[in-house]
Amino acid sequence: MNAREWLAEDATTPDLVLLGAPISKASITPVQSWSTPPAFREALQRFPTWDAERYVDVATLRVRDLGDVQGDHDDTAARAAHDRIHAAAANAARTAEHVVVVGGDNSLTRPVVQGLMSAVPGAWGLLTLDAHHDCRPATGGSRNGTPVRELIEAGLPGERVAQIGIHPLGNAREHAEWARAQGIHIVPLHSVRRDGMDAVIATALSLLVARGAERVYVDFDIDVIDRAFAPACPASLPGGMHPDDLFRAAHLLGADSHVVAADLCEVDASADVNAMTLRLMAATFLKFCSGLATRARSAHEA
Ligand SMILES: [Mn+2]
């Protein structure tokens, strides 16, 4: 069975649900990222469900694909689609313990997190793998550069946010200073290289939990990856993260009991080269799932 066939399993009592959020109207750069969710599913066809590094089969997870929310392709703005994404995320959280949303641009993170929070109240934390802080002021509405600031301004404590993979030349000074002033745990790319991803993830998760997070949401903005490996991300840069580090992070986060949901975003399938970025996105999802599967295995063994 390949991973595309596994995703089509349509389990009645799923451990994990997947939701597509085909939006692009809130992107600062004009893109066609609405085209990505179907292309992401097709890319899964290229992978087995077996993770040889971790000796775990993703197919042990029961999965249901909820399909795509109506996107913003036929709308003049993203706002109505954001409302639909909010409602669909809340519904997804009532369907399964774990939710993964595939974008679409990064503006989806704000409605997804708020939808999940409305369905599952409690103390949430946010961990991003992103070259950018996404702390631009949302004065013109939700954009792909605003979700972290919007969530903090809506009440998410800044000290319960961790940002891994911040690029040295990816952010304006005022946005970096705003992020720092909120108490965000910021891990720039050079710190990932110095300390290694395993240590970075362990430290970030223990900090979020020590600061009260009971549930952690992960935002995988694929533009954290070096542009040479992620040509379909409008804002990826040279000198970015290596794919192997993102895979390590995805697996470790999936395996941690505090992590409940995630999104993968900022890929414009129409701009891809030889399916490089789509396969990277699909592999990141599968590594997150192999982490979830490891968790299920430990629970069975206990
Ligand atoms: Mn982002």
- Compute the distance from residue 130 Cα to the ligand 1 centre, in Å: 5
Asked if residue 302 has pLDDT above 60, the reply is no
Q: Which two structure tokens, joined as six digits, stand for 211?
A: 């600061």
Q: Which two structure tokens, joined as six digits, stand for 15?
A: 């451990």
Residue 246 pLDDT: 98
- Compute the distance from residue 265 Cα to the ligand 1 centre, in Å: 8
- Compute the distance from residue 260 Cα to the ligand 1 centre, in Å: 19
- Compute the distance from residue 148 Cα to the ligand 1 centre, in Å: 9
Domain 3-301 has CATH 3.40.800.10: yes
Residue 241 pLDDT: 98
Binned at pLDDT 50, 70 and 90, residue 110 comes out as very high
What's the DSSP call for residue 120?
Answer: S
- Compute the distance from residue 13 Cα to the ligand 1 centre, in Å: 32
DSSP 250-293: HHHHHHSTTEEEEEEE---GGG-STTHHHHHHHHHHHHHHHHHH
- Compute the distance from residue 122 Cα to the ligand 1 centre, in Å: 24
Residue 235 pLDDT: 97
- Compute the distance from residue 212 Cα to the ligand 1 centre, in Å: 24
Q: Are strands 215-221 and 259-265 parallel, antiparallel or unpaired?
A: parallel
- Compute the distance from residue 9 Cα to the ligand 1 centre, in Å: 31
- Compute the distance from residue 135 Cα to the ligand 1 centre, in Å: 9
Q: Where are the domains of the chain?
A: 3-301
Helical residues (DSSP H) of 164-275, grouped into ranges: 173-181, 189-195, 197-210, 243-255
Give tens-digit pLDDT for 160-216. 999 999 999 999 999 999 999 999 999 999 999 999 999 999 999 999 999 999 999
- Compute the distance from residue 147 Cα to the ligand 1 centre, in Å: 8
Give tens-digit pLDDT for 46-99. 999 999 999 999 999 999 999 999 999 999 999 999 999 999 999 999 999 999
Give tens-digit pLDDT for 203-251. 999 999 999 999 999 999 999 999 999 999 999 999 999 999 999 999 9
- Compute the distance from residue 155 Cα to the ligand 1 centre, in Å: 19
Give tens-digit pLDDT for 283-292. 999 999 999 9
Mean confidence (pLDDT) of the chain: 97
Torsion of CA 248, 241, 6, 218, to 10 degrees: 80
Residue 297 pLDDT: 72
Residue 300 pLDDT: 66
